[in-house]
Chain A
Amino acid sequence: MSFLMPLRIEKRASDSQVMAVLSPLMAMILTLVTGAAVFASLGHAPGEALYTFFILPLSDVYGWTELGVKVAPLLLCAMGLMVCFKAKIWNIGAEGQFIIGALGGGYLALELAAFESAWALPLVLFFGASCGLAWAALAAFLKTRFAANEILTTIMLNYIALNLLLFAVHGPLKDPDGYSFPESALFSDFTMLPLISEDYRLNISVFFALAAVAIIWTLMARTFIGFQISVLGEDASAARFAGFKEKRLVWFSLLVCGALAGLAGVSEVSGPIGQLNPYVSPGYGYTAIIVVFLGRMHPLGMVGASMLLALTYMGGEMVQMDLSLPKSITGLFQGMLLFYLLACDFLIGYRFVARGHLTGASDGS
């Protein structure tokens, strides 16, 4: 096949740092182009549709506050996942940890309905985060004790968590006065997160997310345990040779992620939702995986990526309203983005060179 190609592919001597930054941008452009084609094929003017999807949702203050409402849970989950992915622990369980955090925290919020104290909210948040942590601990236990593949166990735990939530809202936690809807009672004001402004839904959970960015950044860049996690991910045998306790790092990474995802979950029910229902998560735990990859596992990159992915949720709702397209187009855009990113990442390690043009870079590869 190589005779037919005017260009040949060559391995770079070392990974290109420039491409590592450019690749997400290229992926975004390719997603926009494909998105335009999708809209055109559905009979909508591509420019107008893209405008409706990406620009219109952010055309007023309300839009930006709604972006914050969605960035907070995404960023909390993503920061936790990043710690795991750095260690090459493929925790896909943020979704389940999120749901269990929401369920546990929501349960306590309902129990504390008559507890009119400033302590109610911190207790609820703490309990929600602890439940998420406990759910992640199951995966950590299965991995360290039985060497069970964490991808499969965390996925299974996600499905179990969702069914637990469904069981709770159809059964024990269902609002007795709520007709036949599978919903809990509304939480009392003492268990709700304070709003930043009375006019909008944005609450202080966005500060939790920013604090998580700062803490995880410090953890990974400035502490010994963060260093150990990175080494474990880069080269597990080197980590073992250096005497790092692998099991302890697995526990640590998963528990951090569980606590953060649990906090995200409880903040969602004690915030914009205000009760338990079957739809506490629109897939934040899965979308957070894309945030980690698109943000290049760098805290600042992930802040940007979480804003973009939060926007895809809002864009989906916007095109549903304005163009009457199904809002599941959100998932399509998210999936495309990740696909293009993985494809563009090829250029980090490889490059195209003109046939016949000699470079020394490929020597030794």
Chain B
Amino acid sequence: MDLDLLLNVLFATIRTGTPLLLIALGELVCEKSGVLNLGQEGMVLMGAVSGFIATVLTGSLLLGVIAGMMAGMLMSFLFGVLAITLVSNQVATGLALTIFGTGLSAFLGASYVGVGIEGITAWNLPFLSEIPLLGQVLFSQDPLVYLSWSIFALVYICFRSTRVGLTVRAVGENPEAANALGMSVFTVRYLAVLFGGAMAGLAGAYLSLAYTPLWSEGMSAGRGWIALALVVFASWKVQRVMLGAYLFGAASIMHLVLQGMGFEISPNILAMLPYVATILVLVVIASDAGRARLSAPLALGQPYRPQW
């Protein structure tokens, strides 16, 4: 493989991995607080369509990104009302969120299919982008990629050495004890769920404003679900989420490599790769099931209802 191809592949790996990284970071925080939100796919789609519409209407990419995040948060708030306040089954509620988000986004975006916009362009960081090879791969990306790294760093530091991270974990491991210590389980869980929604919405906006600047129905193509598998794959460790996201990014752009090397394979067959990879990953994790179960937040998926 020649160097140019390799650099292109690495560059595209980061681009493709970015939405996965964002969704998975959001879901990780959410799951750390004990809430399993299977509605990622619906929130991503709502983020994508809202971001796109806002940009078309206002002409501002920044407003588009903000609208995408707001839409994701609004959706996650709905989830919170049902799954946290009304203690509904988290699995069913997450599925409902995905079904609802898929439907609503298709409805809202129906008249925007085929509309073109000027997407978010690369931002060459001064000095850094001039580093040979590395600069081309890492520091000639678009601003949302840099933002994803900042969020990653924040989440990492938060769980590693702050009180906030500790509180979230306490609530996810043992809500009764956390409550007895004076933490508000509801507030912490709502905030974690909202953060997850913001990240999923941001990932959606990334897809419709930067990755492929257009809107098409169901354009997230299962990324929300893949990110859920990623969190398990990462056994709830922040740094492994990043590794996993880029590994999946690489698997999703294998067709670039194969085409570059002169292989002729149907694009539909190649499109299966990330899904097959997800299943393989689930199998590999499960062979280490004991450890995976140990690292999962203890109260994950269990509703918490205090005495009122």
A residues touching B (Cβ–Cβ < 8 Å)? 2, 8-9, 11, 90, 92, 142, 146-149, 151-153, 155-157, 159-160, 163-164, 166-167, 170-171, 286, 289-290, 293, 326, 328-336, 338-339, 342-343, 345-346, 349-350
A326 pairs with B107, CB closer than 8 A? yes
* A92 touches which of B93, B95, B106 (Cβ 8 Å): B95
> Closest approach, in angstroms, between the C-beta of B269 and any C-beta of chain A?
6
A101 to B104, CA, bound (A): 29
Per-residue CB contact flags for chain B residues 18-46 toward chain A (1 = under 8 Å, else 0) read: 00000000000000000000100000000
Task: List, sorted by A's number, 27 A–B pairs whose CB atoms are closer than 8 Å.
Answer: A90-B91, A92-B95, A142-B282, A148-B285, A149-B229, A152-B225, A152-B232, A153-B279, A155-B222, A156-B222, A156-B275, A159-B275, A160-B272, A163-B271, A164-B268, A166-B271, A167-B269, A171-B268, A293-B92, A326-B106, A328-B107, A328-B110, A332-B104, A333-B103, A339-B97, A342-B82, A346-B86
Which residues from A are CB-within-8-Å of B100?
A: 331-332, 335-336, 338-339
Complex: how many Å from CA A176 to CA B112? 34
Contact size range, B: 35 or more
Closest 7 CB pairs of A and B: A331-B103, A335-B100, A326-B110, A328-B106, A167-B268, A148-B282, A346-B86
Query: Cα distance A292–B92 when bound, in Å?
Result: 11
Mark B91-129 against chain A: 1 for CB-CB distance below 8 A, else 0: 111011101111110110011000000000000000000
A342 to B101: give the CA distance in the assembly, Å: 16
B88 contacts A167, C-beta separation under 8 Å:
no
CA distance A171 to B269 in the complex (A): 11
Q: Is residue B228 contacting chain A, with contact meaning CB distance below 8 A?
A: yes
A-B contact count (CB 8 A): 133
If over half of A's interface residues share one DSSP class (helix, strand or loop), that class is named, otherwise mixed; here it is helix
B265 CB, nearest partner CB in chain A, Å: 10
Question: Does B287 lie at the interface of the complex (its beta carbon under 8 Å from any beta carbon of A)?
Answer: yes
Tell me whether B158 is interfacial, beta carbon within 8 Å: no
Residue of A whose beta carbon sits closest to that of B282: A148
Complexed CA–CA distance, A346 and B84 (Å):
11
CB of A273, distance to nearest CB on chain B (Å) = 20
Q: How many angstroms from the CA of A8 to the CA of B268 in the assembled complex?
A: 55
Cross-chain contact B282 with A338 (CB below 8 angstroms):
no
Smallest CB separation, A276 vs chain B (Å): 14
Q: How far is the CB of B176 from chain A (nearest CB, A)?
A: 15
CA distance A286 to B99 in the complex (A): 8
CB-based contact B88/A156 at 8 Å: no
The docked-state distance in angstroms from the alpha carbon of A186 to that of B96 is: 36
| Other A-B pairs, 7, CB within 8 Å; known A146-B283, A346-B86 | A2-B308, A163-B269, A164-B272, A167-B268, A333-B103, A338-B100, A342-B96
Is there contact, CB below 8 Å, between A163 and B272? Answer: yes
Q: How far is the CA of A167 from the CA of B266 in the complex (A)?
A: 7
